[in-house]
Amino acid sequence: MMKNFSKRIIATVCTLSMTAGLFTINSGTTAAAAGIKGSQKSEGTKKEFPLYIADTESNEDIELYFFDKSNSVPYISVKDTGYLLKQIGDYLGYPDKYDFEYSEEGSKATLTRETDYSMIVDADKDTINFLDYDAFMMPPNSVRLIDMLGEFEENDEGTTELFMHSDYAYERYGDEITLNLSDYDIDIVRTDKGCFLPLATVGDFLVSPTYLNILYNEESVIIMPYMGFIDDDDNITRLGELYYSGYNEELSEEMAAFSYNELCLAMDHLYGLKDIHGIKDFDTLFDNTGIKEGMLSTDPNDVDNSLNELLTVHIDDLHTVFLAPTYTNGKVEFDEAEGSADLIYNMIEEKFGVVRERYYPKGVPFYEEIGNTAYITFDSFTPAVPELDYYRKKPTEASDDTIGIMLYSFSQITRKNSPVKNVVLDLSMNVGGNIQSASFVVGMFLGLGRYSIRNTLTGALTTDFFYVDANLDHKYNEKDYLSDYNLYCIESPLSFSCGNFVPCIFKSSHMVTLLGQTSGGGSCAVLPMSSAAGQIFQMSSPYQLSFVKNGSFYDIDRGAEPDYYISNPDNYYDRKKLTDYINSLY
């Protein structure tokens, strides 16, 4: 049975950073031995595999090396890592200037970006050093330290379309970091052929932040887009079938140990809620929860079930989800675990859903006017549709993407002789979604839109300010936001991720009145992940959405408290009564 993904929210974040200071990451965690100790002088075993980048057609091969006795743990040279990242950049549509230069000196191998930021791999010390991880990972079209919106190209009218960055942003650069792989019994290998990193380490720290996974199934290497193994109907895709064709009944002891070690390394550094959840390190958590033995098993079913239990029951964070089992099972079915967060969320969702359906048996219209009050309602923030150009074809009442919905609603609210005095954004059942669409909503309500974000790995901080073109006149001014109206937002415990982000920004702005119950949290962008053994999952990333007060960044995981509390769901959806209540507030 496939997992229900309706609550698993994508929050796409790009990264851009520079350097300030130094700290070394050293958790002291030592997991089971990976079977590879010390820098190797032997050549290892070289094998070539077809490389698939988000497609079932392979245009070239990739060289991998194996240094364990069972030839099961794949390594890639640092030089080829740069080439692979360049190929991924081509797929992502990065400009031609995106590139990597490779150099060697003694035990060190260095990849240097065209921006001069580097990654230094030391095979003798088993370390990977980033002078500035954010800057090294920065997409070439980013314009902020940690950029959620990206660069907007100018059109024929000499302005950008839909969004425009303001001239001001607050940025604080992150720290230098060093990943000590030896703390996790993971070896960086140096031979006469060069310096080699585990393919899984490359995937976790260099590929996952681009919303892609590296998957290895003993027959091929697949660069898989986030959720690319299933379609919208939860059926396995052709790319998923390709991945699951690499069937093997069990893991080697070396792969089982290595996969565990790599998972501890990755989650210790990349899980964004580690401190909030009181996790010292993941090796200790595996031990304390009694699932370490299952995680180290050579039986892939044991590993699948153990990782599923860790993510769903013990971490119990709605952004952190076991998605699919390893290819060694040759299938995508698995036994679902249910955490308390899922259980509570589903109970509240059913309660609100039943009430809303009673008032709106045919579904809630995304735009509705009740007297002098306009209601805008949608249950997720969907991304803009690339082929829709709203400057040439105006959005209509049939629009179903978030930006189209907001543009149409704006045109109705501001039309000539409009009766609207109050504007209410109903996010009471909004489970989140696309961060750029959520930002458009913020800009249309506040005029000067903003978001704040912190990288918990590096300490980098960004507050970005932007404008939106709500009236589609290619200008960015006071006519593009709802300053002349009484603004409200309805929230509930179901308002999660971006559905929580928007109320939190509204709360800190003091320009929008919140109605309902405290929003459901979800502060970190989703990070797609895969284990070396092949399990596919997602987790809360280091990119933590925040609000700023008195210069301090506070994460939004606790949600936004309403200005006016509404306990009964009937009072959310009996809009005639709700409109009367809103009119009594001023």
pLDDT at 153: 75
Residue found by looking up tokens 């974000």 in the block: 453
Cα distance between residue 234 and residue 237, in whole Å: 9
Going by pLDDT thresholds of 50, 70 and 90, the confidence category of residue 13 is very low
Contact (Cβ atoms closer than 8 angstroms) between residue 497 and residue 484: no
Dump pLDDT digits (tens) for 163-192: 999 999 999 999 999 999 999 999 999 999
Residue 354 in this model has a pLDDT that exceeds 50: yes
* 3-state secondary structure (DSSP) of residue 584: coil
Residue 8 in this model has a pLDDT that exceeds 60: no
Cα distance between residue 212 and residue 528, in whole Å: 7
Work out the mean pLDDT of the chain and round it to a whole number: 90
Query: Which fold is adopted by the domain 340-583?
Result: 2-enoyl-CoA Hydratase; Chain A, domain 1 (3.90.226)
* 3-state secondary structure (DSSP) of residue 340: helix
Residue 25 in this model has a pLDDT that exceeds 90: no
Cα distance between residue 59 and residue 532, in whole Å: 24
Residue 506 in this model has a pLDDT that exceeds 60: yes
Helices (H) and strands (E) in the chain, counts: 14, 26
* 3-state secondary structure (DSSP) of residue 84: helix
Q: How many residues in total does the chain contain?
A: 586
Dump pLDDT digits (tens) for 400-444: 999 999 999 999 999 999 999 999 999 999 999 999 999 999 999
Q: What's the one-letter identity of residue 240?
A: G
Cα dihedral value 195, 200, 204, 206, nearest 10: 40
pLDDT at 10: 35
Cα distance between residue 550 and residue 548, in whole Å: 7
DSSP-derived secondary structure for 244-291:
HTS--SS--HHHHHHHHHHHHHHHHHH-TTTTTTT-S-HHHHHHHTT-
Composition of the chain by helix, strand, coil, percent to 5: 30, 25, 45
- Rounded to an integer, the average pLDDT of 71-95 is 96
Buried b (16+ CB within 10 A) or exposed e, 510-545: eebbbbbbbbbbbbbbbbbbbbbbbbbbbbbbbbbb
Contact (Cβ atoms closer than 8 angstroms) between residue 200 and residue 220: no
Residue 512 in this model has a pLDDT that exceeds 70: yes
Sorted by where each begins, the domain ranges of the chain are 340-583
Residue 7 in this model has a pLDDT that exceeds 50: no
| Token representation of residue 310 | 């860790």
Residue 251 in this model has a pLDDT that exceeds 60: yes
